[in-house]
Structure 1
């Protein structure tokens, strides 16, 4: 069991969570008024395809601070999920490995624009893979944990849980990612709900291969793939030509919406961009 999940640490985390929620409840009405009035600076880089929001409210750090999560993850034993390759298992490829083309998808699990992309265009992305146009390669970032005030750990914790799903199967990984990004489950990026293991396990019950899967649940609770999540985040940070999330590349070339420098956000935009790229058009 990882250090962050010892009984003492979990009890302390729960107590901090209760205290923080009480403080948040007292500030909620004021916070919403400030949002409407513009006193809180909320930056959502939709035009740049970057799901970043800054809600500088002051007060204490989140119940499980970003620093504590990272520190505990670094002290845990490294485990590489099944169905991964490359340095520290950070290459995640789904589909026919022999497919000539590769569609690279870069996302952050707290990113609201990534959630919108999944909800509107996710099926088109999967259809292209199933039709043999390309294989999919996923690189997940966690920059939102450090760019929202107070800093959190939801991106990293959700990525660790995705590692546990990937260890079950690529299909479980895809379905779980879809469930996490769904309109019913994806939280406001300022609410660090994915930092809670119970939330991640609850959502997993919507995925056939993960429902009641005790091995998966233990991996999430124990933080088995926490250190892997940090390695994947490092891979994202070193990626070239990735300005934000979502970013989509076909054979290394970034796909954009017509007349914009953003990812194609509709099925029509996406399919058009893929077809033009495959045909060798600019």
Structure 2
């Protein structure tokens, strides 16, 4: 299927959802009133704010553009394309840094995850510095489980991951800087807000990244969903490694040379100093 037809499919899906939301508007308004200030539900997370917590405020998002199901259906009709700078089956191995680096840090994230956003703001620059210094190379394993959560269902995680693929296709530096921009305080939406399902929002944030600003090829790949099917493949790879009975049970999560990086209570190191201390200790083993 051509990129043009794929874009038309996505637009048609948006129109169907828009019509459905209008029909349900009155019912949704009443339902939302019942849930104002709703309870917090933990998603693959431990207590103390570590992991992902989602607000049961609405059934879906006020900015939801395409449902998870419709996004998947449109993506599966596209021709598979893997971004540059990927290896492995279906390009699901995303390793950034010196290929000869002795140590490997695995980073597990979901682009809608609010705690991942906090980690990026507090410690993301430390990770980038360590990658560039050769302290370790980083393998990014990014999932989309939040899109499937019934309290906040949507397609923002997958859509943002596809856009990250478009950035990775430009360069590894563009990938790192764009991920940083998406997780930035002024850009990252609340977990109940599926704003990343909007291509225009993703392109607007990309203007903060030098290599992506005004980059016609990047913008076309985002709009056409060039890497949508790749995003689904990477999400599947994430699901094989993250879950309630796995070593990594929530996001953000980290493994250093195959061993979980966490404190005695299983919580990932969030603050830069704490993260560096955990890495240094892990490298001694």
Structure 1 residue matching 2:107: 3-state secondary structure:
strand
Aligned to 1:272: 277
Q: 1: CA distance between counterparts of 2:10 and 2:4? A: 8
- Post-superposition offset of 1:129: 1.6
In the alignment, structure 1 segments of 5+ residues that lack a partner are none
- For normalisation by structure 2, the TM-score amounts to 0.87
- CA spacing shift, 1:3–1:213, aligned 2, 3 Å: closer
CA contact (8 A) 2:104 2:137 kept: yes
Q: How many residues align?
A: 277
Aligned to 2:222: 220
Q: CA RMSD in A?
A: 2.8
Pairs within 5 Å for 1:86-97: 86-97=88-99
1:256 aligns to 2:262 (yes or no): yes
Pairs within 5 Å for 1:80-229: 80-149=82-151, 151-229=153-231
- For normalisation by structure 1, the TM-score amounts to 0.88
Structure 2 residue matching 1:107: 3-state secondary structure:
strand
CA contact (8 A) 1:54 1:147 kept: no
Deviations 1:173-220 (A, max 9, x none): 000000000000000111110011011000000000000001000000
- Post-superposition offset of 1:60: 9.9
CA contact (8 A) 1:120 1:267 kept: yes
CA contact (8 A) 1:3 1:76 kept: no
In the alignment, structure 2 segments of 5+ residues that lack a partner are none
- Post-superposition offset of 1:41: 4.7
- CA spacing shift, 1:59–1:246, aligned 2, 3 Å: closer
- Post-superposition offset of 1:16: 3.5
- CA spacing shift, 1:43–1:22, aligned 2, 3 Å: farther
Deviations 1:76-104 (A, max 9, x none): 10001000000000111111110000011
- CA spacing shift, 1:42–1:100, aligned 2, 3 Å: same
CA contact (8 A) 1:3 1:72 kept: no
Structure 1 residue matching 2:235: 3-state secondary structure:
helix
- CA spacing shift, 1:241–1:215, aligned 2, 3 Å: same
CA contact (8 A) 1:4 1:72 kept: no
Deviates further, 213-222 or 26-35: 26-35
Q: 2: CA distance between counterparts of 1:127 and 1:109? A: 21
CA contact (8 A) 2:114 2:191 kept: yes
